[in-house]
Amino acid sequence: MLKNMLMAITLGTALAFTAYGYAETSPVDTVHESVDAILALLKDESLEQDERRTKIRAHINTRFDFDAMSQRTLATNWKKATKQEKEKFIELFSQLIENTYIGKIEAYTNEKVEYPGEKVKGNKALVETLIIAASADIPVDYKLYKKGDAWWVYDVIIEGVSLINNYRSSYQEIVKKEGFNGLLAKMQEKINELTSEPPAAPADTAAAS
Amino acid sequence: MTIRLKQLLAAILLLIFPVYAVSAGSVTPAYGGSTNLATLDSAPGNGMLADAGTPAATGTNPDANEDLPFLDDDDTVLDVYDPLETVNRGIFWFNDKMYFYVLKPLARGFRYVPEPWRVSLKNFFNNLRAPVTIVNATLQGKFSDAGYELTRFATNTTLGIGGLFDPSKEHFGITPRDEDTGQTLGHYGVGPGPYLVLPFLGPSNLRDTIGTFADSRMDLTYYIWGKDKNNYDYLGAILTRTINNLSLDKDTYEGIKKDALDPYLFVRDAYAQYRQNKVEK
């Protein structure tokens, strides 16, 4: 079992690299590979919690375009921000997104993921995935755009709610009330809170369900 | 007017927990596994495709400060009308406490019931809600959806033993639809109105509050247990449904509390997006 998974990871990684070098990978394959790789990491019991997180993070960094995400989240505030502010924001925002995304996917580690389809139009794509959980199916869609030969994720839509749109409204309100620096301070505070916590066992779902 | 509204609110508070009202502030349907019946055809983002043909990004690695204009096209900000924010935040706080000190401990206890049984209980209550979907799909002219739901109801009530199982989906591939009165009102152009956080029920808005009340009167749960106003059967049924759904939820609200800079805003904006997406479908 474990061996198979390791095989899968190795193969998956190798394939991903090959794909980068030679042919183009379709959006749905891009997402498929990533989700499989992350799920494999989550299920790999030989990994320490920290090691696992680091590996997942590294993987996400090769798929999620945090620059684009940051820009879309800040929208009009992006244009007003200075270069330093933008860089700081990207740095903090990527950490928050990673945490949220990993937290979500961790909760569904043992469920099956289906790939009902993709829609490609020019350099943008929407990949539909469906998490088949015992009590309900949860649609998770990925928005990607093409940069060079590779597809990059710039938004994740869970049950019709775009992560980026959601952050955008909240952040805009915080900027309005407390200014850009207030927002950065709040983000930093949140990250400190998240990292100082001992790595929680994936909630209490595993324990009792 | 005020008395009526009060009565309406009181009635809602006492009598109904909609299926999606998992609990208190936890509703956040957007991220809840337990919150609704996800449908296969729920993929959003068709708007995205309409705007193709926008200038393409070049293959170079965009610098952090380089603008990506083509990504701006779907930069809509959903402005949530929230004139009662102060009151709403108060109720949000109350719901938060209810969630962590009352409902969640109960749900955690409920997790000792084997999961397949709890899924069956959820199926059972969902099945009783079929008239809500059938009526509202019909009202919106979505006759095929209404037909599918009618088929689901007939199949699951019989073959699925009173709705405990979902053979329609498992064997015939007919996935559940999701329509309610709030969506019907939205379909005919009724706006959401002010955002409301309802005690115990969680995020809503004026339109959906009215819708939720109407839905509760189409839900068979009400006709099975709500007939006798002098006992607590109905409340018990609703509470069972809520706790059961919550026991199947994967700690959605905990995640939001942990991740969001301002959970109130996060839930509010997620709710608005979630409902708008439902109405548009």
What's the residue count for chain A? 209
Q: What is the pLDDT of residue B75?
A: 54
Q: What gap in Å lies between CA A56 and CA A202, rounded to an integer?
A: 15
What's residue B97's pLDDT?
97
Q: What is the pLDDT, as a whole number, of residue B54? A: 34
Backbone angles phi, psi at B167, to 5 degrees: -65, -25
Nearest CB partner across the interface for B261, out of A72, A128, A186: A186
pLDDT tens digit sequence for B34-79: 333 232 233 333 333 333 333 333 333 344 344 454 454 555 667 8
Instruction: Please judge whether A208 and B53 are an interchain contact, meaning their C-beta atoms are less than 8 angstroms apart.
Output: no
Q: CB of A116 within 8 Å of any CB in chain B?
A: yes
| Interface probe with B: pick from A70, A89, A121, A159, most Cβ of B within 10 Å | A159
Q: B193 to chain A, minimum CA–CA distance in Å? A: 18
> Do the chains contact at A166 and B45, CB–CB below 8 Å?
no
Question: Are the C-beta atoms of B225 and B237 separated by less than 8 Å?
Answer: yes
Residue B147: both structure tokens together: 């037909």
Q: Are the C-beta atoms of residues B68 and A71 closer than 8 Å to each other?
A: yes
Residues A145, A120: Cα–Cα separation, whole Å: 9
Closest CA to B180 of B155, B207, B198, B160: B207
Interface contact B250-A166, CB threshold 8 A: no
Q: State the pTM of this model.
A: 0.77
Structure token pair of residue A27: 């959006």
**B82-107: per-residue pLDDT in tens?**
999 999 999 999 999 999 999 999 99
**Residues in chain B closer than 8 A to A103 (CB atoms):** 255, 258-259
Where chain A has pLDDT below 70, the residues are 1-24, 197-209
Question: What is the distance between the terminal CA atoms of chain A, rounded to a whole angstrom?
Answer: 23
Give me A12's structure tokens. 């998956």
